[in-house]
A and B are shown apart, each in its own frame.
Chain A
Amino acid sequence: MNPLLLWFHKMGSPPTFYRVAGLWLPWLYALALVAGAAGLYGGLFVAPADYQQGESFRMIYVHVPCAWMGLFGYIFMAANGFIALVWRIKLSETLAMAAAPVGAAFTFITLVSGSLWGKPMWGTWWTWDARLTSELVLLFLYLGVIGLYNAIEDTRQAARAAAFLALIGVVNLPVVHYSVVWWNTLHQAQTVNLMGQSKISGSMLWPLLTMALATHVYFFASVLARARAMLLGLESGKDWVRVLAQGAAPSHPEAAHG
């Protein structure tokens, strides 16, 4: 077997995944923190104020990376859901369901920061702008997936049903976006966007890309952490979990971090 395939095969087994993900996690969190700090330093201190929006444009350094991650998280969830449904890989089910709350959190931040930007710029907390509306529908799709996953008792069946719903959502999402754009042109809504059509200068762009890197790394860290916690519950009858649980008993608290 070629080494890459072998690696995937090994990572697919829950004990190996749990151990390797545990090794990676501190590094991923650290990288996310460093990149986030650099991005925020660039965004808050180095980048000049926007000539149209003034200092308020500095919100893009949280708003835009989160908007990207909301969409990326959904695609990640659906791709893992597809793998879970076709090849019935337990790890993919877990990864898909671990991605749902993280993606929903990013979408929620996007909505709140968009609304906080809208108040001074548009004079209102909420407007039925095409992008904001699409984000709202995206949040509902996430909530549907999470709700379905939590409502079905059998965890594996729940994961497969929710993964299927995520796939239906993928088909629906572009249709929602274009229908909302069409509806918006019909009703002549606001046209100013946080990421306008104007060209963005280099000193404004690099902090944005650094923040995007930070949120991506954070996303994977959070998904891995959630997947580890979920795998423990799923495999609670297996030997490797027993060994871990006995090691994590109150007499050896440090083993719980492993």
Chain B
Amino acid sequence: MKPGTVSAACTAVLKRDLALTWRRRGDALNPLLFAIIVVALFPFALGPEHAVLERIAAGTIFVAVLLAGLLSLDQLFRSDLEDGSLEQLVLSPHPLSLLLACKIAIHWLTTALPLILVAPLLALLLQLPPPVLPVLLATLALATPLLSLIGAMCVALTIGMRRSGMLLTLLVLPLLVPVLIFGAGACNAAQAGLAYAAPLLWLGAWLALAVVLAPLATAAALRISLT
């Protein structure tokens, strides 16, 4: 049997992952709910004064989104490993990194995009000044794909373990420190009326690098863990 083209393989992976997510659409809401709960807890802890909430809004939303993303990362390859389709992907004649890039893209689309869409609501809860909202959305749009890409590398390394939750957090968080600093930093700069283009551009550069390198690294890591 002749193998199909690379683009056909990628389309098949994309369609399959979308269909699987759609069948378990209830689960897809979990990170969303988690982010909202985390954000809602802060006013209880710090008091409802607008000035305080305004000051911490951008950073809190950023941390909540990152934690929610981290929560969903574990599921990235889990079901594929269990039903054996991950090994099929590794054995397929097509470049593994491209197929994995498709999987990561779908993962971002189904877990991180809803988080970005709900960010205005989170901003409302924490009294984020309206002019800062576009900056927050822009940084989230750059930071969440980074989370998915960096997270995928770490998930690929921990895939052999039955319980990887805490270890995965330990692996991912140091790698996300720059993302958090630049992302929340851009929002804080915008809020203080300072220039915020530089951190945004840094995030963009980091994302461009990660889009190219992370799928390759994920493929290499997966090959190490599955041998």
Interface size class of B (residues with CB under 8 A): 20 to 34
Assess whether A183 is interfacial by the CB under 8 Å rule.
yes
Bound-state CA distance A235–B23 (Å) is 49
Which one of B167, B174, B224 contacts A169 once the chains associate, using CB atoms below 8 Å? B174
Tell me the dominant secondary structure on chain B's binding face.
helix
Interface string of B187-227 (1 = CB under 8 A from A): 01100000000010010001000000100010011001101
Contacts of B120 in A (CB 8 A): none
Q: Which residue of A lies closest to B226 (CB)?
A: A157
Is B161 on the interface with A (CB-CB < 8 A)? yes
CB distance from B107 to the nearest CB of A (A): 19
Residues of A close to B158: CB separation below 8 A:
148, 151
A140-164 near B? 1/0 per residue, CB < 8 Å: 1101100110011000010011001
CA–CA, A160 and B225, complex, Å: 9
Once the chains bind, are B188 and A176 in contact (CB under 8 Å)? no
Contacts of B225 in A (CB 8 A): 152, 157, 161
Q: Which of B158, B217, B224 has the most CB of A within 10 A?
A: B224
User: Which of B178, B185, B221, B227 neighbours the largest number of chain A CB atoms within 10 Å of its CB?
Assistant: B178
Report if B175 contacts A (CB, 8 A): yes
Tell me if B124 counts as interface (CB < 8 A to partner A). Answer: no
Judge whether B178 and A148 touch: CB under 8 Å: no
Give Cα A169–Cα B176 distance, bound, in whole angstroms: 11
Residues in A with CB closer than 8 Å to B185 are 182-183, 186
A175 interface contact, C-beta 8 A: yes
Interface residues of B in 155-182 (CB under 8 A from A): 157-158, 160-161, 164, 167, 170-171, 173-175, 177-178, 181-182
Least CB separation from A158: chain B residue: B160
A53 sits at the interface (CB 8 A): no
**For window 70-128 of chain A, which residues contact chain B by CB distance below 8 Å?**
85
In the assembled complex, the CB of B17 is this many whole angstroms from the nearest CB of chain A, namely: 24
A50 to B189, CA, bound (A): 39
Q: Select one of B157, B177, B188, B189 contacting A161, CB under 8 A.
A: B157
A144→B171 contact, CB < 8 A: yes
A204 to chain B, nearest CB (A): 34
A168 on interface, CB distance cutoff 8 Å: yes
Is A179 interfacial (CB 8 A cutoff)?
yes
Q: Point out the residues of chain B lying under 8 angstroms from A144, CB to CB.
A: 167, 170-171, 174
Q: Does A165 contact B (CB under 8 A)?
A: yes
A151 touches B167 (CB 8 A): yes
Q: Which residue of A lies closest to B214 (CB)?
A: A168
Q: Are B167 and A147 in contact (CB under 8 A)?
A: yes
Task: Point out the residues of chain A lying under 8 angstroms from B157, CB to CB.
Answer: 148, 161, 164-165
A179 B161 Cβ-Cβ under 8 A: no
The answer to whether B173 and A140 touch across the interface, beta carbons within 8 angstroms, is: yes
Q: 7 A-B contacts, Cβ less than 8 Å apart?
A: A85-B224, A137-B177, A141-B174, A148-B157, A157-B160, A157-B224, A165-B157
Binding site for B on A (CB under 8 A): 85, 137, 140-141, 143-144, 147-148, 151-152, 157, 160-161, 164-165, 168-169, 171-172, 175-176, 179-180, 182-183, 186
18 new A-B pairs (CB below 8 Å) besides A179-B178, A183-B185?
A: A137-B174, A144-B174, A148-B171, A152-B160, A161-B221, A161-B225, A164-B221, A164-B224, A165-B154, A168-B153, A169-B174, A169-B175, A179-B182, A182-B181, A182-B182, A183-B181, A186-B185, A186-B188
